[in-house]
């Protein structure tokens, strides 16, 4: 992920209730050195997802845990809700497996986010745990979902999956 991708992602505005997924303003992220605002974290953990024309359509975080790659996933707001999520997630999973083939791949999702949960399930993820975590809006329930190769089937979506740009 390049710095200009991070700056663009910080301008994305999601409709409620998805607005919880918005980021701080770019200059604030850089100043605080948080997430992709920190050049080293951006280089090591983040990738931009680009369409055929090189336009930013989303991002992925590959957060390293012991034996696990935990995904963070963000899709450009105007692309959400159009049935592209499973192919989008499948491309991210393939990149996670390319980076660390020995690792399990998982992610966390708010339990109310049925749109994302459906996309994750279609991409081969299974709910394995339920717990509460702190969010900007207080404690909220999350599912942990684990990628199961050959799980719930192939991703359904556009013929060509987005490419990832990163190390």
- Domains of the chain, CATH where assigned: 3-154 (3.40.630.30)
Q: What pLDDT does residue 151 have?
A: 64
Provide the 10 A C-beta neighbour count for residue 112.
12
State the first-to-last Cα distance of the chain, in angstroms, to the nearest integer: 8
Q: What pLDDT does residue 38 have?
A: 98
Q: What pLDDT does residue 142 have?
A: 98
Entry pTM: 0.85
Which residue ranges in the chain fall short of pLDDT 70? 151-167
Closest CA to 166 of 50, 24, 28, 67: 50
**Which residues, including other chains, have CB under 8 Å from residue 123's CB and lie 6 or more apart?**
85, 86, 87, 89, 90, 93, 147, 152, 155
83 close to 157: Cβ distance less than 8 angstroms: yes
Distances (CA, A) of 156 to 83, 99, 142, 152, 165: 8, 24, 25, 11, 22
- What gap in Å lies between CA 146 and CA 126, rounded to an integer? 5
91 close to 49: Cβ distance less than 8 angstroms: yes
Provide DSSP, 134-145.
Answer: EETTEEEEEEEE
Q: What pLDDT does residue 136 have?
A: 83
Q: What pLDDT does residue 137 have?
A: 85
């Amino acid at each position: 992920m390049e710095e200009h991708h991070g700056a663009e992602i910080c301008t994305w505005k999601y409709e409620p209730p998805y607005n919880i997924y918005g980021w701080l303003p770019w200059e604030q992220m850089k100043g605080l050195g948080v997430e992709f605002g920190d050049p080293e974290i951006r280089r090591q953990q983040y990738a931009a997802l680009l369409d055929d024309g090189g336009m930013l359509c989303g991002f992925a975080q590959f957060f390293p845990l012991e034996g696990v790659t935990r995904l963070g996933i963000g899709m450009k707001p105007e692309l959400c809700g159009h049935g592209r999520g499973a192919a989008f997630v499948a491309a991210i999973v393939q990149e996670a497996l390319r980076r660390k083939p020995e690792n399990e791949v998982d992610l966390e999702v708010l339990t109310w986010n049925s749109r994302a949960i459906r996309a994750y399930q279609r991409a081969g993820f299974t709910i394995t745990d339920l717990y509460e975590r702190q969010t900007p809006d207080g404690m909220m329930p999350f599912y942990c979902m684990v990628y199961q190769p050959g799980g719930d089937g192939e991703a359904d979506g556009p013929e060509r999956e987005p490419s990832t740009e990163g190390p």
